[in-house]
């Protein structure tokens, strides 16, 4: 308390001193160190965080310091720091000692710009008490968050902390958390606790490494090679997002003609309906400049999600991936998709859905795991979304999974079918086996079923698709639709919040 | 896609046109009794020379093209010009391919393997009957030299557009054709052909001819199974191998032992004959640039031949054509030694097949494809389009690129430019090699032989070697691209309530990594011009900086370059096709590069060495067995589930330790399928 008072007093004195006389006055002062020098010293100390030795240790681990990360992420010279002088207030266990005080404490906060766009940022400093969360640390983060909300700018959190409590809160605010491959771990309880409670032997990497969280748990959305790669990609990713939920999806200068025809799509769907193809090929050739920022590329790979641009405007893309598990929907892909759809809807990002789905994955594992409950999340998310929704059925759209994939019935704005589309309750073989059980001429029945249902017409005559389009015209059609849908407004009756089936 | 190639062969053609009188002499020959197919030939020759056809002449109403790809497309194109209806045949995997789309009708003749489709004579005869085609154009390869097929057609009174069976038969046999050539007073390579009793006899023959000699099975085509012997021991070895191969592969014991011509050039003469005994020659093509006896680059006229040699070669070629009553277009191949002695090699009784494929089969999907046909003096013959699948079943040659010019230099320059402007993405190709060959000083001087590629690239072709200037240019272009994309990233249509304040950076300090070397670069831009300083030297780079276009025309200090940016990642990695070769670079700001030094070297990723079934299903096929070495991404097995076939690929390169499933097995989710070591 006394220390704090002294700072205020010193500050007051400074304000009345004319700058030209400062040196003279300093020499007359009885204090051993002038206020200016103390300010300088504190700033210098803050810039060094936990000190050179700890910075070197951080580098040796292949990690950057909190400040280096900020400098790399933000436009050069744009960082404006706040709370550089904040120190922790803990007095127990000798923490009050000067050697345990670090100006700025274990987090660096402030604001800056990425490609000219405003962003608030906090970056935990592992060199100060392992980046652990103190009261002061939390207070600093809350301060910039409050400011960000008042001006309508986002917050980016760069986490590097031994303390686990902060993560949950941060993640919800930052929207997406990026963790770095090989140098990062994320878990609720560490390997030692796991061993003592469940008797499992597990390493940090296995329990909460980048690979675990990007391929198995779905906790992290992307993993990168290292800090530099991650931060460069974060700059790229940031450009896809609006600054706040009050802003429309950003439109960046685009060199790719919006009416570009894509002849390669006319042959992409194989003639045999059992043969797989890569949905990413379709996505890449439709969006601007083949530039696709995929989210969760290694988790539930039977559903592809990510951001792209159409005529410069950010869009969210959801597509079944026929290459993986035939593109069917299962628990993990449903949850992955649902989260993404809601993210896009929350931030006014139009949704483009490419459908080739043979159904929900059958089996006890899925049923016991609650596929109905989880599948409903994706259905709910699409139904609830009020952003422009354009859907393209490339091949299979079977059964309940067809409904779920941003169908007309979930209020898709524009729903297209390619000539190869088959919109039906199920595939011909399965259907015939049920309808004509024990029947003599199954082959003929199957042919009849294919003739009747394995094409886009039944859906088109009922208006479930708005048009049957040539695949090569897909990009031009979507760009045109998005221009029209830019002014889309949906009024929903007031409610406290929607009740997604969690 | 690793390790796959597509042959893109190139022909460099200079401006020499066909002699006028030659074409005049061709005109009467083209008319009258065999108007149908001679016209076909003439149109072909027009592309080589300058002759039109008479639109009033009678033609076939409809022909069937018993081929696929580039040649089928070329024939169909000509038919369209002549008002002839066309029928394409195709295998099931080719149903969506270009030649099928171009033709008026198409008939599927079987599944993918050629033996069941393009070589399936029964199905093709059926297709001919069904479509009532009056004639068949065989293209090259497949059934073009199959006398049985020609006979079947004759029996059905369908015209075979090509030489008659007699000629095919006469020229199809190496020994027979050589005897015929000898009789027709065509220069032949001294040698022996026939049944060789034993190794001793082989040695005696070899000594008579004089070393070095070449030994091969008479029935084997091209350079297949060819062995060269420089002494008695090697002759014995060669005899053993070749006689074994002759018996096992061809069921024909005869061997060919002949003088081996060291450093020969491969020059061939195109001939045309009709059914009235007329025959003429159409100058030569030099095809010395070969790889594994497959042609890579062709040139016409040959820089090597003098008018006299050309005339003698042409006359001998015509003599041979007359001797076999040749009544079609054909090619007489000669080997030419350094003293311009030439020897008859073989005669191809078919449409010229100038650019056979080479390299490994390339499979994949052409994600982007753009031919440089907008350039002057460029012709592209291809049978593909964006989105085409290059399948494992067929010849990986995807296209032929031809440039013309008023002189050799112009034709070569245009070839260089055309190769730079050729966009092929999704499959590997040999543009880099082709471009290197045509700018190679030995090639430019005309100092070539069939050994050119193995001489110039003894350890295999590894891409272009940059000079210091070229390296600076590449670094300047990459840096400019990086800055252009960084600047573009700041250009938003402003809708946000917080205004955008663009960073005020006038000079970009960069560090560019190329071939494990870091280069300091400073770049500043004014409009479309970048001033770039690379390792101390200054360059001006101008372009439209269109970041969407696959081709980028750049001017570096006034010298024009066409580059292709194949990929550009947020982390600074780029790959740029420059001077034909693809270079990988990493562009970072100087600051990022400083920090990048702290990043740990990436340890080899521990990809899972076990492959588990991702879902319940049935194993349809297992393509590996224990002990096999598999490459990352290689198919290990196929699982059918959801009535869909899922190809399971190796997660890493390694040796197969155990295979825990077999075709027909039903597997559950998570079941172990294959273990790698």
SS in 3 state form for A310-322?
Answer: ECCEEEEEEEECC
**Per annotation, catalytic residue among B70, B346, B371, B436:** B346
Q: If contacts are CB pairs under 8 Å, which of residues 355-414 in chain B contact chain A?
A: 365-369, 385-389
When CB atoms are compared, the residue of B368, B504, B646 closest to A325 is B646
Bridge partners (DSSP) listed for residue B648: B637
3-state secondary structure of B552: strand
Radius of gyration of chain A (CA): 28
**Would an 8 Å CB–CB cutoff place B506 in contact with chain A?**
no
* CA dist., res. B468 & res. B471, Å (int): 5
DSSP structure class, residue A215 = I
Cα atoms found within 13 Å of the Cα of residue B96, Cβ hemisphere only: 18
CB B295 within 8 A of CB B260: no
Bridge partners (DSSP) listed for residue B169: none
3-state secondary structure of B300: strand
Beta-carbon contacts of B152 under 8 Å, excluding residues fewer than 6 positions away, are B121, B125
Contact B498 A328 (CB under 8 A): no
Q: Could you read off the pLDDT of A367-411 as tens digits, one per residue?
A: 999 999 999 999 999 999 999 999 999 999 998 999 999 999 999
* CA dist., res. A13 & res. A25, Å (int): 11
Contact B643 A430 (CB under 8 A): yes
When CB atoms are compared, the residue of A64, A274, A427 closest to B645 is A274
**Would an 8 Å CB–CB cutoff place B500 in contact with chain A?**
yes
- Chain A residues whose CB is inside 8 A of the B503 CB are 75-78, 113, 115-116
* CA dist., res. B346 & res. B226, Å (int): 15
Q: Cβ of B283: how many Cβ atoms within 10 Å?
A: 20
Residue to test with chain A: of B389, B504, B571, most A Cβ within 10 A: B571
* CA dist., res. A334 & res. A162, Å (int): 32
Structural element, H or E, at residue A397 = strand A389-398
In this prediction the ipTM stands at 0.86
For residue B667, give both structure tokens: 């597997």
* CA dist., res. B309 & res. B301, Å (int): 12
- Chain B residues whose CB is inside 8 A of the A328 CB are 615, 642
Distance from CA of B430 to the nearest CA of A (A): 22
Q: Among all chains, which residue has been given the structure tokens 């194949």?
A: B566
* CA dist., res. B20 & res. B49, Å (int): 9
pLDDT at B296: 86
CB B637 within 8 A of CB B623: yes
Contact A263 B588 (CB under 8 A): no
Contact B491 A289 (CB under 8 A): no
pLDDT at A237: 93
CB B226 within 8 A of CB B214: yes
CB B117 within 8 A of CB B135: no
Contact B387 A232 (CB under 8 A): no
Pinpoint the alpha helices (H) of B325-448.
Answer: 408-420, 431-439, 441-445
Helices and strands in chain B, H and E counts? 17, 38
Q: Could you read off the pLDDT of B619-669 as tens digits, one per residue?
A: 888 888 888 888 877 888 888 765 567 778 887 788 888 888 888 888 877
When CB atoms are compared, the residue of A76, A227, A365 closest to B503 is A76
Between A96 and A329, whose confidence is greater? A329
Between A256-260, A264-268, A452-456, B289-293, the lowest mean confidence (pLDDT) is in B289-293
pLDDT at A166: 40
For residue B377, give both structure tokens: 């003096």
- For residue A19, the Cα-to-chain-centroid distance in whole angstroms is 49
Pinpoint the alpha helices (H) of A165-278.
Answer: 165-174, 191-198, 204-208, 210-211, 227-238
> Which pairing describes strands B294-300 and B8-13: parallel, antiparallel, or unpaired?
parallel
DSSP structure class, residue A326 = G
Cis amide linkage into residue B55, ω under 30° from 0: no
Between A207 and A488, whose confidence is greater? A488
Q: Residue A488 to residues A351, A485, B433, B646: CA-CA distances in angstroms?
A: 13, 5, 54, 40
Q: CA torsion, points B121, B123, B124, B128, in degrees to nearest 10? A: 130
**Would an 8 Å CB–CB cutoff place B645 in contact with chain A?**
yes
Beta-carbon contacts of A24 under 8 Å, excluding residues fewer than 6 positions away, are none
- Chain A residues whose CB is inside 8 A of the B644 CB are 274-276, 322, 326, 358
* CA dist., res. A159 & res. B290, Å (int): 59
* 3-state SS string for A255-307: CCCCCCCCHHHHHCCCCCCCCCCCHHHHHHHHCHHHCCEEECCCCCCCEEEEE
* CA dist., res. B231 & res. B370, Å (int): 51
pLDDT at B36: 32
- What value does the mean pLDDT of chain A take? 85
* CA dist., res. B588 & res. B569, Å (int): 11
Beta-carbon contacts of B211 under 8 Å, excluding residues fewer than 6 positions away, are B229, B230, B231, B260
Dihedral over Cα of A349, A350, A352, A358: its sign: positive
Beta-carbon contacts of B667 under 8 Å, excluding residues fewer than 6 positions away, are B613, B616, B617, B618, B619, B639, B661, B673
Dihedral over Cα of B256, B261, B265, B267: its sign: negative
Smallest CA-to-CA distance from B241 within B199, B194, B293, B193 is with B199
CB A453 within 8 A of CB A418: no
- Chain B residues whose CB is inside 8 A of the A259 CB are none
When CB atoms are compared, the residue of B492, B495, B571 closest to A233 is B571
- Nearest chain B alpha carbon to A280: B367
Distance from CA of A44 to the nearest CA of B (A): 20
pLDDT at B348: 76
Distance from CA of A151 to the nearest CA of B (A): 7
3-state secondary structure of B114: helix
- Chain B residues whose CB is inside 8 A of the A116 CB are 490, 492, 500-503
CA angle B100, B102, B108 (to 5 degrees): 15
B298 catalytically annotated: no
- Chain A residues whose CB is inside 8 A of the B574 CB are none
Contact A326 B644 (CB under 8 A): yes
When CB atoms are compared, the residue of A115, A152, A429 closest to B489 is A115
- List % helix, strand, coil for chain B (3-state, nearest 5): 30, 30, 40
Distance from CA of A92 to the nearest CA of B (A): 36
Sheet of B329-336: strand order equals: B342-348, B329-336, B265-273, B279-291, B294-300, B8-13, B399-403, B378-382
CB pairs under 8 A between A and B: 185
Cα atoms found within 13 Å of the Cα of residue A288, Cβ hemisphere only: 23
When CB atoms are compared, the residue of A246, A255, A285 closest to B497 is A246
Contact A77 B503 (CB under 8 A): yes
Percent of chain A with pLDDT over 90: 58
Distance from CA of A16 to the nearest CA of B (A): 35
3-state secondary structure of B401: strand
Q: Could you read off the pLDDT of A343-374 as tens digits, one per residue?
A: 999 999 999 999 999 999 999 999 999 999 99
Contact A325 B497 (CB under 8 A): no
Structural element, H or E, at residue B599 = none
**Would an 8 Å CB–CB cutoff place B495 in contact with chain A?**
yes
* CA dist., res. B58 & res. B39, Å (int): 9
Smallest CA-to-CA distance from B1 within A91, A419, A278 is with A278
* CA dist., res. A313 & res. A306, Å (int): 14
Q: If contacts are CB pairs under 8 Å, which of residues 526-555 in chain B contact chain A?
A: 546-549
Smallest CA-to-CA distance from A129 within A163, A179, A157, A81 is with A163
- Chain A residues whose CB is inside 8 A of the B493 CB are 250-252, 312
CB B424 within 8 A of CB A302: no
Confidence check: pLDDT of A170 > 80: no
Contact B503 A75 (CB under 8 A): yes
pLDDT at A32: 67
* CA dist., res. B329 & res. B45, Å (int): 9
* CA dist., res. B436 & res. B444, Å (int): 11
> B675: exposed, middle or buried (C-beta count within 10 Å: 0-12, 13-18, 19+)?
middle
Weakly modelled stretches of chain B, pLDDT under 70: 1-55, 219-225, 249-251, 349-359, 361-363, 392-393, 395-396, 602-608, 641-644
Smallest CA-to-CA distance from B77 within B106, B99, B48, B52 is with B99
Structural element, H or E, at residue B637 = strand B635-641
Q: Could you read off the pLDDT of A106-131 as tens digits, one per residue?
A: 899 999 999 999 999 999 999 988 88
* CA dist., res. B50 & res. B28, Å (int): 16
Dihedral over Cα of B179, B180, B183, B187: its sign: negative
For residue A406, give both structure tokens: 């941003």
């Amino acid at each position: 308390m006394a220390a704090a008072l002294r700072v205020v007093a010193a500050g007051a004195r400074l304000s009345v001193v004319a700058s030209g006389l400062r040196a003279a006055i300093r020499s007359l002062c009885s204090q051993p160190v002038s206020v200016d020098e103390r300010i300088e010293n504190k700033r210098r100390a803050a810039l060094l965080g936990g000190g050179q030795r700890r910075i070197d240790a951080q580098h040796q681990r292949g990690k950057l310091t909190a400040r280096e990360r900020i400098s790399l992420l933000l436009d050069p010279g744009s960082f404006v720091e706040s709370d550089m002088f904040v120190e922790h207030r803990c007095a127990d266990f000798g923490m009050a000692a000067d050697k345990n005080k670090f100006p700025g404490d274990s987090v660096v906060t402030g604001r800056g710009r990425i490609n000219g766009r405003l962003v608030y940022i906090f970056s935990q400093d592992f060199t100060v008490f392992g980046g652990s969360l103190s009261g002061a640390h939390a207070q600093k983060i809350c301060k910039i968050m409050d400011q960000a909300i008042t001006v309508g700018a986002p917050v980016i959190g760069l986490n590097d902390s031994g303390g686990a409590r902060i993560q949950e809160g941060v993640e919800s605010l930052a929207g997406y958390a990026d963790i770095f491959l090989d140098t990062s771990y994320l878990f609720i309880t560490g390997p030692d606790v796991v061993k003592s409670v469940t008797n499992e032997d597990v390493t940090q990497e296995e329990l909460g490494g980048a690979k675990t969280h990007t391929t198995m748990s779905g906790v992290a959305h992307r993993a990168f090679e290292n800090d530099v790669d991650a931060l460069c990609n974060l700059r790229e990713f940031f450009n896809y997002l609006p600054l706040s939920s009050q802003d429309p999806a950003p439109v960046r200068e685009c060199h790719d003609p919006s009416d570009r025809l894509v002849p390669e799509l006319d042959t992409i769907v194989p003639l045999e309906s059992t043969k797989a193809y890569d949905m990413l090929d379709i996505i890449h050739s439709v969006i601007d400049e083949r530039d696709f920022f995929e989210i969760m590329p290694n988790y539930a790979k039977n559903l592809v999600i990510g951001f792209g641009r159409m005529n410069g405007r950010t869009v969210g893309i959801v597509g079944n991936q026929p290459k993986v598990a035939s593109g069917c929907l299962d628990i993990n892909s449903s949850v992955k998709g649902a989260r993404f759809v809601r993210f896009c809807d929350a931030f006014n990002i139009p949704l483009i859905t490419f459908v080739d789905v043979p159904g929900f994955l059958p089996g006890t594992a899925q049923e016991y795991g609650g596929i109905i409950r989880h599948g409903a999340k994706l259905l709910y998310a699409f139904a609830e979304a009020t952003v422009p929704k354009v859907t393209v059925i490339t091949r299979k759209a079977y059964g309940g999974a067809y409904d779920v994939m941003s169908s007309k019935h979930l209020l898709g704005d524009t729903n297209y079918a390619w000539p190869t589309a088959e919109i039906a309750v199920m595939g011909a073989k399965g259907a015939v086996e049920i309808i004509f059980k024990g029947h003599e001429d199954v082959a003929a029945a199957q042919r009849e079923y294919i003739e009747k249902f394995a094409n886009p017409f039944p859906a088109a005559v009922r208006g479930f698709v708005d048009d049957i389009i040539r695949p090569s015209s897909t990009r031009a059609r979507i760009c045109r639709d998005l221009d029209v849908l830019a002014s889309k407004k949906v009024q929903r009756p007031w409610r406290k919040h929607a009740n997604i089936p969690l | 896609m690793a390790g796959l190639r597509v042959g893109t062969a190139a022909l460099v053609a200079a401006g020499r046109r066909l002699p006028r009188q030659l074409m005049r002499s061709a005109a009467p020959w083209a008319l009258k009794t065999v108007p149908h197919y001679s016209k076909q030939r003439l149109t072909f020759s027009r592309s080589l020379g300058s002759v039109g056809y008479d639109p009033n002449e009678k033609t076939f109403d409809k022909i069937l093209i018993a081929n696929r790809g580039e040649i089928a497309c070329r024939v169909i194109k000509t038919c369209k010009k002549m008002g002839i209806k066309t029928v394409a045949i195709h295998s099931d995997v080719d149903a969506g391919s270009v030649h099928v789309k171009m033709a008026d009708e198409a008939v599927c003749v079987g599944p993918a393997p050629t033996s069941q489709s393009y070589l399936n004579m029964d199905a093709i005869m059926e297709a001919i009957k069904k479509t009532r085609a009056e004639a068949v154009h065989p293209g090259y390869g497949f059934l073009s030299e199959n006398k049985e097929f020609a006979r079947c057609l004759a029996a059905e009174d369908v015209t075979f557009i090509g030489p008659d069976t007699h000629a095919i038969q006469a020229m199809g046999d190496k020994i027979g054709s050589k005897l015929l050539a000898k009789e027709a007073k065509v220069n032949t390579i001294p040698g022996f052909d026939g049944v060789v009793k034993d190794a001793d006899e082989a040695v005696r023959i070899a000594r008579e001819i004089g070393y070095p000699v070449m030994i091969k099975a008479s029935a084997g085509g091209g350079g297949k199974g060819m062995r060269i012997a420089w002494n008695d021991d090697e002759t014995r070895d060669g005899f053993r191998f070749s006689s074994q191969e002759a018996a096992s592969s061809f069921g024909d014991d005869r061997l060919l032992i002949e003088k081996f011509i060291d450093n020969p050039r491969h020059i061939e003469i195109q001939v045309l004959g009709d059914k009235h005994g007329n025959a003429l020659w159409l100058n030569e093509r030099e095809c010395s640039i070969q790889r594994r006896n497959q042609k890579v680059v062709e040139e016409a006229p040959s820089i090597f031949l003098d008018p006299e040699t050309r005339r003698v070669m042409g006359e001998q070629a015509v003599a041979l054509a007359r001797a076999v009553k040749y009544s079609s277009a054909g090619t007489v191949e000669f080997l030419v030694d350094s003293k311009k002695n030439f020897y008859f090699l073989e005669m191809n009784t078919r449409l010229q097949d100038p650019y056979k494929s080479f390299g490994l089969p390339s499979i994949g999907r052409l994600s982007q494809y753009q031919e440089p046909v907008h350039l002057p003096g460029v012709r592209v013959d291809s049978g593909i389009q964006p989105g085409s699948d290059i399948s494992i079943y067929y010849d990986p040659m995807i296209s032929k690129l031809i440039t013309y010019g008023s002189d050799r230099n112009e034709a070569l320059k245009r070839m260089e430019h055309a190769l730079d402007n050729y966009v092929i993405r999704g499959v590997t190709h040999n543009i880099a090699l082709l471009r290197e060959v045509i700018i190679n000083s030995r090639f430019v001087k005309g100092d070539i032989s069939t050994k050119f590629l193995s001489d110039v690239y003894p350890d295999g072709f590894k891409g272009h070697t940059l000079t210091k200037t070229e390296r600076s240019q590449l670094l300047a272009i990459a840096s400019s691209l990086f800055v252009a994309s960084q600047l573009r990233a700041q250009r938003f249509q402003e809708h946000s309530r917080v205004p955008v304040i663009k960073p005020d950076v006038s000079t970009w300090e960069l560090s560019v990594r190329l071939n494990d070397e870091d280069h300091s670069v400073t770049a500043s831009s004014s409009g479309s011009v970048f001033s770039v300083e690379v390792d101390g030297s200054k360059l001006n780079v101008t372009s439209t900086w269109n970041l969407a276009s696959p081709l980028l025309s750049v001017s570096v200090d006034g010298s024009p370059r066409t580059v292709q940016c194949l990929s550009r990642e947020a982390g600074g990695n780029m790959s740029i096709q420059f001077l034909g070769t693809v270079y990988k670079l990493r562009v970072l700001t100087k600051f990022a590069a400083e920090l990048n030094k702290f990043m740990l070297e990436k340890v080899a990723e521990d990809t899972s060495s076990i492959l588990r079934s991702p879902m319940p299903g049935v194993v349809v096929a297992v393509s590996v067995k224990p002990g096999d070495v598999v490459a990352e991404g290689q198919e290990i097995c196929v699982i059918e589930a959801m009535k869909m076939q899922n190809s399971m690929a190796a997660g890493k390169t390694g040796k197969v330790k155990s295979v825990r499933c077999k075709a027909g097995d039903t597997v559950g989710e998570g079941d172990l399928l294959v273990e790698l070591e």
